[in-house]
Structure 1
Amino acid sequence: MSEVVANPGAPAVCATDPASSRGRLYAEPESASRTCFQRDRDRIVHARAFRRLQYKTQVFVYHEGDYFRTRLTHSLEVAQIARSVSRCLGLNEDLAEAVALAHDLGHTPFGHAGEDALGEMLAGEGGFDHNEQTFRILTRLEQRYAEFDGLNLTWESLEGVVKHNGPVNDPPPSVQAFCRDFDLELATYAGPEAQVAAISDDIAYNNHDIDDGLRAGLFTIADLRDIPLVGPVFEEVAERYPGLEESRLIHEVVRRLIDRMVADLVAETRRRIELLAPGSAAEVRRADRPLVAFSEEMRGNDRALKDFLFERMYRHYKVNRMTAKVRRVVQELFQQYMSQPDCLPQDWRQHARALEPAGRARLVGDYIAGMTDRYALQEHSKLFDVHAPT
């Protein structure tokens, strides 16, 4: 990133200091070799939900091609950008990385199509939201440790996951209940590192969807010619490297787009730091606006690219066809498990039998949400294809 200072030296005054962490819901001895945020990151990486991201996709189903992004590769890319930005700004890289790695844990199989289908199935029980599911995984559903459910992350990491998109004005019941014991101050912004993770998600998502969409043939380079920033960068690279093969052209453009968006983000955030002069991470939270942001021009570029991808990629007829198929998979799995809970695996079946219909619906939702694309398709085949092995 030649346009920004990669190593700013001393930490920024508004960086989150691990030595001043507000701690964990369940008190634990500190590590002799790792900061509290490094431990959070490591717990996330070792979680079962994190490993399952390898076979959970965003737009394409896993069998459509092994070079498309999965939730795992996306999370790693977000974490890399978040660390780079945090380093430039003198923020805590480990906390930014932890939030980035955790942010997609609650996604269902089959991306947003799976989430929408599961939301319909759970409409009478409060619906389904992947951000809330991420929180439930981190605080309840991961069951690895002897003394507590969840990962028992620090206040700062949990706050960052819950509020990375801004203050939470209408928190879901699980978050409300948790905050009675461990107040995450939902009405304020998240700390600066979580804000970095949130915009790093946008940078990675948009630019890598350009890559995947082009490689899948959902649109062409010519279609991108009139998109602000994107079109001019394609022209710039084509002029600099005439005759460059398309795969290298795409990669060169994507890396330059990421670089320019990161440079803009760092420059605008430095401008806001100078203007607002926050003396601590707590002052960042209490501000009336985000500290970490794009410039107005880059926000416009980002919006134009999102609009293009929504129309030309997410609404492409090939994507719509696959969406229709996987929605039926999720719906039929849910209906089958609700009507025949004995079809669930042994440990899930025992819990389902003891629950009323409302509780059973949430349990079935948790089971399906934890599936990978591959596993969901396999389970659907076992349940509905009489020729498939059970």
Structure 2
Amino acid sequence: MTADSTPALVQNADADTDGRAPAGPSVARDARARNIKVYLQYVAAKIAGAVISLFAVLVTSFFLFRLIPSDPVKQMTGGRRVSAEQLQSLRHQFGLDQPLWKQFTSYVGDALTGDFGTSFQFHTPVIDKITEALPATLLLTGTAYVLYTALGIWLGTRTAWRNGSRSDRFNTAFALTLYSVPSFWLGLLLIIVFSVGIGPIPGMFPTGGLESGGETGVAYILDVAHHLVLPVITLVAVGYAQTLLVMRSSLLDEMGSDYLTTARAKGLRDDVVRRKHAVPNAMLPTFTLMFVNLGHVVAGQILVETVFSWPGLGGLFYQALSVPDLPLVQGLFFVFATAVILANTLADVLYPLLDPRVGR
């Protein structure tokens, strides 16, 4: 071996298998910087899309509810005989006598500053009514969200891993049935069976509301928990079914992958293969669903809250729509849509961190 051949041998030993020299630290830094730049551009595009969507919702919320064939002023008079002068005075008070374009520009300008106007029927600022009802909605839908997400992921994983077994067939059929049932119908059924009582089953739970009243301290907490049981069960029954079906489908797609076969060939236990290899990859579609449902935590469940007379945003929206209380309906609609848009945007921003193929 000559002295001249030594550098060539060393270079060949350090080279990549395709004959190229390995990337140095500067190349790696450039690659990381490039990836960060691409990711930031991706995030900026998603945020810009969210802003455009929010403005579209703001515009839609104004015109959509003015298509309702109802006169808010006449509805608020409760059918009482009112003179034309009084009706005109009320329309002037609420700004309904102004041209539509002027109402629209005033609404958009005020909404951009967080002012959604004054409720027709409650005579208080819309934002105050929303703030007042929001905790009740978060308590109900937030509790249900945590329960049905955990239950759906756990059962979806176990049923898919035992694909074709008796428990898999039962859980899948039961989930499909619950997913097909309207939530308000299920709520009414639970009220009939467990609140009113039927046959040997006595009425054990309140028919609706957040509290009985007059309780304080621990007794108040227990009273609220007692009122929570049936509406939470209603939301969990429908929500867990959807999560289970998505998780099961995702995991079934992963079960035939080569990397799972390799993991088993290395001698890993079956539960380790499931927990550390299959489930993390199968979680990606479920992760998206979790953020979509997270937006609905704020948006509430209008039908369920109405059935159980729950004093949250959903029940408030139903009350406002029956008038229609235009400022309150518009404000609630914008809050609901904003929550969903922000949750989806957050999912889009975080998704590339779990799957680097997204956004590239």
- TM-score band w.r.t. shorter chain: under 0.3
Normalising by structure 2, report the TM-score: 0.24
Q: Which structure exhibits the higher relative contact order, with contacts defined as CA atoms closer than 8 Å and separated by 6 or more residues?
A: 2
Structure 1 or 2: larger helix share? 2
Normalising by structure 1, report the TM-score: 0.22
Tell which structure's C-alpha radius of gyration is larger.
2
